[in-house]
Amino acid sequence: DAEITQSPRHKITETGRQVTLACHQTWNHNNMFWYRQDLGHGLRLIHYSYGVQDTNKGEVSDGYSVSRSNTEDLPLTLESAASSQTSVYFCASSEEPDYNEQFFGPGTRLTVL
């Protein structure tokens, strides 16, 4: 069965360190998204990609970067982790066109000390 996976599921890091969160999907979807979810807020879009070599900034992209070298993977990098980036991170993918449902990974809980 097709799926979308994230790793690690839990991560504790220190302020200033670079952190990369992995996202891998076997749906063969062109569209991939990274969100963060914080208490009291809706899901907020960090970065998204509509295909290989395509990346776009979302609502809360400062301090984050992504790269898309193949269809299956969209790793999210925190260049210099800050305590404000403590959150739960979800990766999602969808089939074109944009009004199709998004399939979410299980999430990564990141704590920045």
User: Interface with other proteins includes 90 (CB under 8 A)?
Assistant: yes
For position 43 contacting other proteins by CB under 8 A, the verdict is: yes
Q: Is 101 in the site for other proteins (CB under 8 A)?
A: yes
Q: Are 16 and 81 in contact (CB under 8 A)?
A: yes
1 binds other proteins (CB under 8 A): no
Q: Does 42 bind other proteins (CB under 8 A)?
A: yes
26 Cβ contact list (under 8 Å, min separation 6): 2, 3, 4, 72
Distance between CA 77 and CA 63 in Å, rounded?
A: 8
Of 21, 29, 107, 112, the one binding other proteins (CB under 8 A) is 107
DSSP assignment letter at 69: S
Site residues (vs other proteins, CB under 8 A):
40-45, 58, 90, 98-99, 101-107
